[in-house]
Amino acid sequence: MSKVIKNGTVVTADLTYKADVLIEGDVITAIGPDLQGDEVLDATGCYIMPGGIDPHTHLEMPFMGTYSADDFESGTRAALAGGTTMVVDFALPSPGQGMLDALQMWDNKSTRAHCDYSFHMAVTWWDKQVFDEMPAVIERGITTFKHFMAYKGALMVNDDELYASFSRLSELGGIAMVHAENGDVVAELSAKLLAAGNTGPEAHAYSRPPQVEGEATNRAIMIADMAGVPLYVVHTSCEESHEAIRRARMAGKRVWGEPLIQHLTLDDSEYANADWDHAARRVMSPPFRNKQHQDSLWAGLQSGSLSCVATDHCAFTTEQKRNGVDDFTKIPNGTGGLEDRLPMLWTHGVNTGRLTPNEFVAVTSTNIAKILNCYPRKGAVLVGSDADLVVWDPEKSKTISATDQQSAIDYNVFEGQEVKGLPRYTLTRGRVAFADGAIIPEPGHGQFVARAPKGAV
Amino acid sequence: MSKVIKNGTVVTADLTYKADVLIEGDVITAIGPDLQGDEVLDATGCYIMPGGIDPHTHLEMPFMGTYSADDFESGTRAALAGGTTMVVDFALPSPGQGMLDALQMWDNKSTRAHCDYSFHMAVTWWDKQVFDEMPAVIERGITTFKHFMAYKGALMVNDDELYASFSRLSELGGIAMVHAENGDVVAELSAKLLAAGNTGPEAHAYSRPPQVEGEATNRAIMIADMAGVPLYVVHTSCEESHEAIRRARMAGKRVWGEPLIQHLTLDDSEYANADWDHAARRVMSPPFRNKQHQDSLWAGLQSGSLSCVATDHCAFTTEQKRNGVDDFTKIPNGTGGLEDRLPMLWTHGVNTGRLTPNEFVAVTSTNIAKILNCYPRKGAVLVGSDADLVVWDPEKSKTISATDQQSAIDYNVFEGQEVKGLPRYTLTRGRVAFADGAIIPEPGHGQFVARAPKGAV
Amino acid sequence: MSKVIKNGTVVTADLTYKADVLIEGDVITAIGPDLQGDEVLDATGCYIMPGGIDPHTHLEMPFMGTYSADDFESGTRAALAGGTTMVVDFALPSPGQGMLDALQMWDNKSTRAHCDYSFHMAVTWWDKQVFDEMPAVIERGITTFKHFMAYKGALMVNDDELYASFSRLSELGGIAMVHAENGDVVAELSAKLLAAGNTGPEAHAYSRPPQVEGEATNRAIMIADMAGVPLYVVHTSCEESHEAIRRARMAGKRVWGEPLIQHLTLDDSEYANADWDHAARRVMSPPFRNKQHQDSLWAGLQSGSLSCVATDHCAFTTEQKRNGVDDFTKIPNGTGGLEDRLPMLWTHGVNTGRLTPNEFVAVTSTNIAKILNCYPRKGAVLVGSDADLVVWDPEKSKTISATDQQSAIDYNVFEGQEVKGLPRYTLTRGRVAFADGAIIPEPGHGQFVARAPKGAV
Amino acid sequence: MSKVIKNGTVVTADLTYKADVLIEGDVITAIGPDLQGDEVLDATGCYIMPGGIDPHTHLEMPFMGTYSADDFESGTRAALAGGTTMVVDFALPSPGQGMLDALQMWDNKSTRAHCDYSFHMAVTWWDKQVFDEMPAVIERGITTFKHFMAYKGALMVNDDELYASFSRLSELGGIAMVHAENGDVVAELSAKLLAAGNTGPEAHAYSRPPQVEGEATNRAIMIADMAGVPLYVVHTSCEESHEAIRRARMAGKRVWGEPLIQHLTLDDSEYANADWDHAARRVMSPPFRNKQHQDSLWAGLQSGSLSCVATDHCAFTTEQKRNGVDDFTKIPNGTGGLEDRLPMLWTHGVNTGRLTPNEFVAVTSTNIAKILNCYPRKGAVLVGSDADLVVWDPEKSKTISATDQQSAIDYNVFEGQEVKGLPRYTLTRGRVAFADGAIIPEPGHGQFVARAPKGAV
Ligand SMILES: [Zn+2]
Ligand SMILES: [Zn+2]
Ligand SMILES: [Zn+2]
Ligand SMILES: [Zn+2]
Ligand SMILES: [Zn+2]
Ligand SMILES: [Zn+2]
Ligand SMILES: [Zn+2]
Ligand SMILES: [Zn+2]
């Protein structure tokens, strides 16, 4: 049964034009005037855009014997409700665990996804087994490998391991990713703060200032340069890190930065909130920064020195957050955002004139599809592309609230924010999964998206 | 009669895929597998790319009672032989001449063009008449207005005139362009050099060092910022100018820089050639720079801080150049390049690994089409786009020589250069104008491309 | 009759040590332990520092038929009360007036000065007479020539005039100075604001944003580079200008920047004051900037990219300010500061830890003495140096108020500020001119300080 | 018996003036006209300057069971012959060795020094003993602590150790120093080069490119910033490192960079020399760089972003160098330079116009005396200062050759260089140790210079 989206304006990363879009099965089969289909979705007054791709989520992530509260079912439900049609999650091997073994676990977790997804693989330790398994991981369609420069004693890898892994990726045509904070210094600052009795969530921000992020970013860039591998820096939150990325790009290096919607729109004054719960719910790494850092991130999106907007969606309930009530280092790190990324970015980016609608599509979908080498299957409105689409109503507005969100947690860091610009319909591989404010669930519809190495970006 | 390009790989600014391309009349009507048409062009082993757009030419440009040697007939012939399917020339009002009047002259010159073309309008003086005529020029489809910050006593306009004109463009949705060199300082340095007996072509380079270009670029950016208008900086030749552009872009400003193929591949050692003719033939403004400036320009193309590669094609014969035999300031400024831009950039950009084929398309065609607001009619391989296409053979090579060039002049600044990567076919609005090394002329085929103001880039 | 300053700590730009200072006549004749003299000044708990040098004042400056309210008598009285022992004022030829003629006028104005002074000469127009008189001005001991890039239609000179004057200075061993704002753009913005009905003092700030200052600074640096002359940029008020200076210095160029104490400590929120008088009293060019610009200026003093702190003291009474009550462009530009510069800088610089006491001396006295080539006669505590000294009590505090100031005007832009760090004694060429809170006047004591060209800085 | 230096011109970091200098015992007792003394040193045509201070030497440094060839006797002899009157050497504890224990060894080595000297202490490992001994080291007058970020498996310390040590220094008022190269990456690159059969000295340079130095510098700056300690970066050899230092200084941080005379005047083409010995003799870390890096270092000295010129004098004979004949990683790292630093810098710095004579004194002597907190005892020409002086003849010239050098090694990396500007006399604490081309030896004359913490620079 075919579907046709009629009366809308197609907006892609580089085009804006009136056209209908015909969908047969999973894919777009025609774009043009006066198309006919069995089912009609009306897009009058709307933009037809590639569905959002969130390159950075942690669904059902293991943490201290429990898991982040949103799993692939609720997480992808939240995604679709916000116009996002693909998420990329991180497979995280435990210390000593093989990559293929970890991958099996992530395969198991993702069976109930409502939309398509892919994985990045994390390099959380290093030895010959890891080296040897990397080709098989790439063979499985996972070409992007994340390295933690922080979380000392847990996920962190050292410079020689970074170099070894980056070099291996260079051979294999993969892409290196980093969580860039200097884990040694974060550990020292954390210990010092705790020793001085600073146990509250505001100390979390003091323990990882912009300087430690900027330094690690700069270091990762150098190591990637030496190893000859492209580098993707996740959650770029500050001018220091952005400066290092800019400097590298200006020298012609292939480096990308990913600001989060949280860092673009929220600031560190949140940690000064007298309510412990309020502050703790916003604990993530890197922490929120001040408004000057926000300005830097927006300018980066405008000039192209920063490439993609993500969420790092890693939702913990207030109860889980309270694990760190006496010690900020025990507060689980992470916030939600999957449902809010597109509306928040449209409101603060497009409605303010900072970004054109085309640039909005680029930074929420197309750029990451190209970097991840799944373009134009994803991130495009082209004949033959997957019908992962959002019909976007620029006049629709709401107030964000936890009370009506898809996410499993009991709060929302954007609570109370007015957004204007929301999905009318969200389609995942041709299936209407969100319509007129309501989710039409189908757990398990989502499929894994394999990606080939040696992309051309 | 339809045509189909078969067995090739479509390469656009953001996609690479196997497909046939069907052309009916002027436009592309289908892209896909196994297309049929009346005439078949074989693209085996070739890339099917949007034809090049040269945003900066001076054909039959008036100069001291004569004209630049390539007119729209020979100039567009050279363009097509090199894979370029559209040129944008500058209408230059004489002092006191109205813009519409000048436009009439450029309309007359361009009747014999072999390929499509558009115009920029130059603001060479300023008063109420100019202010009043600007809407009519835009109405005619010319939205880009060039301002000379050099050529004092001739084309140069002052800062208050720049501000007034830029402000007017801001109201009208136009784009400001500048030739950025500090004309006052160039005039002073030139006079000083002549007074000291430095009359040769090498003194031309001394009279306009990178600093004067960097300064003017920085100034134009500030004035555009104050006036609220996007700015396009033509012939960005040096790190100083690039630095100013980078700094502006990093602050989120809409500024574009245009390196020339000459500045990317030739350097100032050419002016040290003992043969006066050799050196004088390379006299253009800005002059060739040293290799460090070249590195800066390439890095700019790689990182996106520079946007388009042009030629500033303004060809003068050796005889015309000799007008300045006793005084470098009387050497007509300009070189050729229309036929060589794409092969030289492919050879030095793509074959060296600096640019991907997609980036090559972006900087030779798509980016400028977007900036000039004629995308996707031009600069694209899409159904409905003009069939301005080049079938590019990456294995074809030749040695550049004036003896077999289309240009009317008696030399070539790239003489002796080996290039690998050449057109097999060039199509202009569906017409095959170049095939297997030979031009198939049709003067007058080319049409004017009108462009609307308020583009979305 | 000799004087000895006992029990203090000598603080110079590069030394801190306990010593007595013996003064005979105008000069220091001994520095060391246990010195004896006819008169003893007790410096217990105090620092003995070179008296401040203010490189930028406008005393009795002609303006629209009247004069700035502080003349050399009251101005130098204010200086001494604040620990400043030398001022450098600007001789301003009227259009067409010869430099030597103007100099005669400034000689006449300065006969009642309480402390030593020197002059800069302004190049307010350009022709052969100016060119020809420059050697005689230098012969008179005036080696620094100011050029206004703003005040279009009045003092402003164009780029060709700048280049000609800078080149002449290069030959003569002088130093170029600039008031750096793009006068063309300021004039356009002012006209636009007035046309839109923005006539109040806040519009003054809107009419000269940081961008126009940064641009002019960058341009002056380029012209100085081409002419081969050192450049001193007066009243550097913003990051844009500072950035241009930093970039030049980093390339090894001889360029200095001079922040004013006003820009270091006051911000543009002052112009939002509902009281017209309050805002208008703060109208000066460049206007006050926001706090991010302040941060930039302080960092410049710390790192050495900015060299000297001045006042641009040019005091107009509230009544004079009211000349512009209907039109901000008619508000006389200028504020006071001579009495407050040192206490304000000590309070906000040394007491906060931003500057060491040695750095304080450098930026208030020694650096400018070296640049102006009157070191170590001035700016030093050395045997043979003029006894221009301040005995500085770091524990003394007061609240700044117009009610007890020396300046002739009826307000103070620092009104209400608490300062800690004040002179106990100020000596001008051996004469005690300020002691324990009171001026001991002697109009005419001050002498002109001639300076030789080709200084070594 | 007093000495007087007559007929010369005193040149200090901030003054140039004609004066005689009287010396009694170890110190200067008078400076002025017409001084009399028992012994007269004629300085006609000469500059009387503070003797050079070399902040970075390795005399009799242990290495693989042997020692660097110049010990304190021959090293300080070389220093004096070149106008340098103080050296600062690095006490290097072996792994597990206590700092005080190491200090005893360095005390023993230095008994035969001809001129004064001080020590830096190296932090080559970290535990409670090191933490506990640091106050005693400072008590002994050693306030500067060097950390190696390279030499993995030997001297290298990690980021957490850096932070711990820097924090300790912050408490104690010390200064952190770093050898800044990323030791992990150097080790990986070295292994890769060796594995590929690149065993020659040219591979040494490939194994430690500018990027690894720039990265480590940037990292050290961040850690120092977090710990709140001033940072001194030894042997800054490249733009990348200089850029990081500039960026930090521009933000107001207390960071200093130290270019070596070798990096200022020699380049990496030396490693291409076909003679293994020639290349191996130039093996040091960081290696020589290309001419663009040289330009950066000179600009840094001119603008003040780099502070001191040193030698890293660590002389190995050709025979010692041949230890690495089959493996570049076994070539002892180090070159000579103590005798040549001042003449080479004068020739390439002052004679070329890059530096004034005052700036020469600043970067060879005064700046480091201030940073090390031994100014004005050292680095000054003041009454009371140690009579460590050089009488500098700007007209004297020679060709540098190993055949007539003081150093114990059999070659000189500056062999064949013409220098103009040489010492006529060198005095160490009042003793004439070099006169008219000949050393007048007195081993053991040199004394240790203790320095207090919490210097004011
Ligand atoms: Zn992370
Ligand atoms: Zn994450
Ligand atoms: Zn031009
Ligand atoms: Zn042109
Ligand atoms: Zn001014
Ligand atoms: Zn002024
Ligand atoms: Zn070292
Ligand atoms: Zn060393």
Question: If pLDDT is split at 50, 70 and 90, which confidence band does D436 have?
Answer: confident
A51-371: in CATH 3.20.20.140 = yes
Averaged pLDDT, C173-183: 98
Q: What is the pLDDT of residue D237?
A: 98
**Calpha distance B175→C276 (Å, rounded):** 39
C155 alpha carbon, closest ligand: 5
Q: Chain A closest CA to B23's CA: distance in Å?
A: 17
Distance D58 CA to ligand 7 centre (A): 10
Cβ pair B215:C219 closer than 8 A: yes
Q: What is the pLDDT of residue C184?
A: 98
The DSSP symbol for B59 reads T
- Provide the H-helix boundaries in D289-378: 291-303, 318-321, 341-345, 357-361, 367-371
Cβ pair A298:B456 closer than 8 A: no
- Contact between residue C154 and residue C186 where contact means Cβ atoms under 8 Å apart: no
Question: If pLDDT is split at 50, 70 and 90, which confidence band does C440 have?
Answer: very high
Question: If pLDDT is split at 50, 70 and 90, which confidence band does A456 have?
Answer: low
SS3 D292: helix
Task: Tell whether the torsion through CA atoms of C222, C223, C225 and C231 is positive or negative.
Answer: negative
Candidate from B189-193, C250-254, C290-294 with smallest mean pLDDT:
C250-254
**Calpha distance B91→B187 (Å, rounded):** 24
Which chain D residues contact residue C298 at CB under 8 A? 252
Q: What is the pLDDT of residue B457?
A: 66
Q: Which residues contact B326 (CB under 8 A, 6 or more apart)?
A: B199
Task: Tell whether the torsion through CA atoms of C181, C185, C190 and C193 is positive or negative.
Answer: negative
Cβ pair D14:C358 closer than 8 A: no
SS3 D37: coil
Which of D:318-357 have CB within 8 Å of C?
354, 356-357
Establish if B151 touches chain C: CB-CB under 8 angstroms: no
Instruction: Please state at what angle helix C210-227 crosses helix B210-227, rounded to 10 degrees.
Output: 170
Instruction: Say if residue C448's pLDDT is above 80.
Output: yes
Tens-digit pLDDT profile for chain B (457 aa)? 899 999 999 999 999 999 999 999 999 999 999 999 999 999 999 999 999 999 999 999 998 888 999 999 999 999 999 999 999 999 999 989 999 999 999 999 999 999 999 999 999 999 999 999 999 999 999 999 999 999 999 999 999 999 999 999 999 999 999 999 999 999 999 999 999 999 999 999 999 999 999 999 999 999 999 999 999 999 999 999 999 999 999 998 999 999 999 999 999 999 999 999 999 999 999 999 999 999 999 999 999 999 999 999 999 999 999 999 999 999 999 999 999 999 999 999 999 999 999 999 999 999 999 999 999 999 999 999 999 999 999 999 999 999 999 999 999 999 999 999 999 999 999 999 999 899 999 999 999 999 999 886 6
Averaged pLDDT, C98-110: 98
Closest to D395 measured CA to CA, from D367, D417, D424:
D424
> Could you write out the DSSP letters of every residue in B255-266?
EEE--BHHHHH-
Nearest by CB to A222, from D164, D167, D211: name it: D211
D52 pairs with which residues across the strands?
D84
Cβ pair A304:B304 closer than 8 A: yes
Cβ pair B457:A370 closer than 8 A: no
Neighbouring chains of D at 3+ CB pairs within 8 Å? A, C
Cβ pair A159:D222 closer than 8 A: no
SS3 D18: strand
SS3 D274: coil
Percent of chain C residues topping a pLDDT of 90: 97
Cβ pair C457:D356 closer than 8 A: yes
Closest to C162 measured CA to CA, from B319, B10, B184:
B184
Instruction: Say if residue D455's pLDDT is above 90.
Output: no
User: E strands of D275-351, at which residues?
Assistant: none
Instruction: Output the six-digit token pair for D85.
Output: 């009157």
Establish if B273 touches chain A: CB-CB under 8 angstroms: no
CATH node for D52-371? 3.20.20.140
Residue type, C287: P
Which chain D residues contact residue A189 at CB under 8 A? 226
Closest to B209 measured CA to CA, from B289, B100, B270, B124:
B289
**For residue range D341-367, what is the model confidence (pLDDT) as tens digits?**
999 999 999 999 999 999 999 999 999
Q: Which residues contact B157 (CB under 8 A, 6 or more apart)?
A: B123, B124, B125, B126, B147, B148, B149, B165
User: E strands of A185-342, at which residues?
Assistant: 231-233, 255-257
Instruction: Say if residue C337's pLDDT is above 70.
Output: yes
Q: How many CB atoms lie within 10 A of CB A129?
A: 14
Q: Is the peptide bond before D332 cis (omega within 30 degrees of 0)?
A: no
- Contact between residue A59 and residue A50 where contact means Cβ atoms under 8 Å apart: no
Q: Where are the domains of chain C?
A: 3-49+381-396+419-439, 51-371
**For residue range A182-207, what is the model confidence (pLDDT) as tens digits?**
999 999 999 999 999 999 999 999 99
Q: Which residues contact C226 (CB under 8 A, 6 or more apart)?
A: B185, B188, B189, B209, B211, B212, C163, C166
> Could you write out the DSSP letters of every residue in C9-73?
EEE-SS-EEE-EEEEETTEEEEEETT---SEEEE-TT-EEEEPEEEEEE-TT-EETTEE-S--HH
Give the 3-state secondary structure of C253-281. CCEEECCEHHHHHCCHHHHHCCCHHHHHH
Closest residue, chain C, to B158 (C-alpha): C184
Instruction: Output the six-digit token pair for B379.
Output: 């600069």
B68 alpha carbon, closest ligand: 4
- Contact between residue B172 and residue B137 where contact means Cβ atoms under 8 Å apart: no
**Calpha distance B293→B262 (Å, rounded):** 12
Establish if B189 touches chain C: CB-CB under 8 angstroms: yes
Which chain A residues contact residue B367 at CB under 8 A? none
Percent of chain A residues topping a pLDDT of 90: 97
Q: What is the pLDDT of residue C268?
A: 97
Q: Distances in Å between the alpha carbon of B184 and those of A287, B181, C94? A: 51, 9, 24
Question: If pLDDT is split at 50, 70 and 90, which confidence band does D276 have?
Answer: very high
Which chain D residues contact residue A215 at CB under 8 A? 218-219, 222-223
Please give the CATH superfamily to which domain B3-49+381-394+419-439 belongs: Urease, subunit C, domain 1 (2.30.40.10)
Q: What is the pLDDT of residue D1?
A: 85
Cβ pair D13:C15 closer than 8 A: no
Which chain B residues contact residue C223 at CB under 8 A? 182, 185, 215
Establish if C280 touches chain B: CB-CB under 8 angstroms: no
Instruction: Say if residue A412's pLDDT is above 70.
Output: yes
Cβ pair B185:C218 closer than 8 A: no
Instruction: Say if residue A159's pLDDT is above 80.
Output: yes
> Could you write out the DSSP letters of every residue in A94-109?
PTT--HHHHHHHHHHH
Which chain D residues contact residue A184 at CB under 8 A? 158-160, 163
Percent of chain D residues topping a pLDDT of 70: 100
Q: What is the pLDDT of residue C139?
A: 98
Task: Give Rg (Cα) of chain B.
Answer: 21
Which chain B residues contact residue C164 at CB under 8 A? 188
User: Could you give the count of Cα atoms lying within 13 Å of B142 in the half-sphere of its Cβ?
Assistant: 30
- Provide the H-helix boundaries in A291-353: 291-303, 318-321, 341-345
Question: If pLDDT is split at 50, 70 and 90, which confidence band does C304 have?
Answer: very high
Closest to A250 measured CA to CA, from C217, B249, D399, D238:
B249
How many helices (H) does chain D have, and how many strands (E)? Answer: 15, 20
Which of B:25-84 have CB within 8 Å of A?
32
Q: What is the pLDDT of residue D63?
A: 85
Closest residue, chain A, to B366 (C-alpha): A14
Closest residue, chain B, to C207 (C-alpha): B226
> Could you write out the DSSP letters of every residue in C417-430?
-EEEEEEEEEEETT
Backbone angles phi, psi at B2, to 5 degrees: -85, 160
Cβ pair D185:A163 closer than 8 A: yes
The CATH number of domain A3-49+379-397+420-439, selected from 2.40.160.40, 1.10.3720.10, 2.30.40.10, 2.60.40.10? 2.30.40.10
B252 conformational bin, left if phi > 0, alpha if psi -120 to 50, beta if neither = left
Which chain B residues contact residue C188 at CB under 8 A? 160, 163-164, 167, 226
Q: How many CB atoms lie within 10 A of CB A269?
A: 10
Establish if B226 touches chain C: CB-CB under 8 angstroms: yes
Q: Which residues surround ligand 8, an ion (CB under 5 A)?
A: D 312
Instruction: Say if residue C187's pLDDT is above 80.
Output: yes
Task: Tell whether the torsion through CA atoms of A381, A384, A390 and A392 is positive or negative.
Answer: positive
D contact test, residue of C303, C350, C377 with most D CBs within 10 A = C303
Q: What is the pLDDT of residue B66?
A: 86
Q: Chain D closest CA to C131's CA: distance in Å?
A: 28
Cβ pair C354:D15 closer than 8 A: no
Q: What is the pLDDT of residue D110?
A: 98
Which of C:364-393 have CB within 8 Å of D?
366, 370, 375-376, 383
Instruction: Output the six-digit token pair for C243.
Output: 């950035």
Distance A181 CA to ligand 1 centre (A): 9
Establish if C223 touches chain B: CB-CB under 8 angstroms: yes
Instruction: Output the six-digit token pair for C81.
Output: 């009360």
**Calpha distance C452→C175 (Å, rounded):** 11
Establish if D190 touches chain A: CB-CB under 8 angstroms: no
C432 pairs with which residues across the strands?
C427
Percent of chain C residues topping a pLDDT of 70: 100
Q: Chain A closest CA to B412's CA: distance in Å?
A: 30
Q: What is the pLDDT of residue A457?
A: 66
> Could you write out the DSSP letters of every residue in C371-400?
HTT-TTTSS--STTSB--EEEEEEEEEEE-
How many helices (H) does chain A have, and how many strands (E)? Answer: 15, 20
Establish if D16 touches chain C: CB-CB under 8 angstroms: yes
- Contact between residue C219 and residue B219 where contact means Cβ atoms under 8 Å apart: yes
What is the average pLDDT value for chain A, to the nearest integer? 97
Establish if D185 touches chain A: CB-CB under 8 angstroms: yes
Cβ pair C222:B182 closer than 8 A: yes
Instruction: Say if residue D64's pLDDT is above 70.
Output: yes
Cβ pair A16:B249 closer than 8 A: no
Closest residue, chain B, to A301 (C-alpha): B252
CA–centroid distance for D151 within its chain: 19
Nearest by CB to A215, from D184, D211, D218: name it: D218
Task: Give Rg (Cα) of chain A.
Answer: 21
Instruction: Output the six-digit token pair for D173.
Output: 């008022």
Distance A90 CA to ligand 2 centre (A): 8
**Calpha distance A328→A283 (Å, rounded):** 9
CATH class of domain segment(s) C3-49+381-396+419-439: mainly beta
Which chain A residues contact residue B32 at CB under 8 A? 383
Residue type, C141: G
Which chain D residues contact residue C354 at CB under 8 A? 252
Give the 3-state secondary structure of B131-179. HHHHHHHHHCCCCEEEEECCCCCCCECCHHHHHHHHHHHHHHCCEEEEE
CATH class of domain segment(s) D3-49+379-396+419-438: mainly beta
SS3 A338: coil
Q: What is the pLDDT of residue A66?
A: 86
**Does the complex come out with an ipTM higher than 0.90?**
yes
- Contact between residue B228 and residue B163 where contact means Cβ atoms under 8 Å apart: no
SS3 D241: helix
Closest to A424 measured CA to CA, from A386, A398, A445:
A398
- Provide the H-helix boundaries in C228-339: 239-250, 261-265, 276-281, 291-303, 318-321
Which chain D residues contact residue C456 at CB under 8 A? 16, 356-358
What is the average pLDDT value for chain D, to the nearest integer? 97
Residue type, C40: V
Backbone angles phi, psi at D94, to 5 degrees: -70, 165
Instruction: Say if residue C238's pLDDT is above 80.
Output: yes
Q: What is the pLDDT of residue A319?
A: 96
Which chain B residues contact residue A13 at CB under 8 A? 14
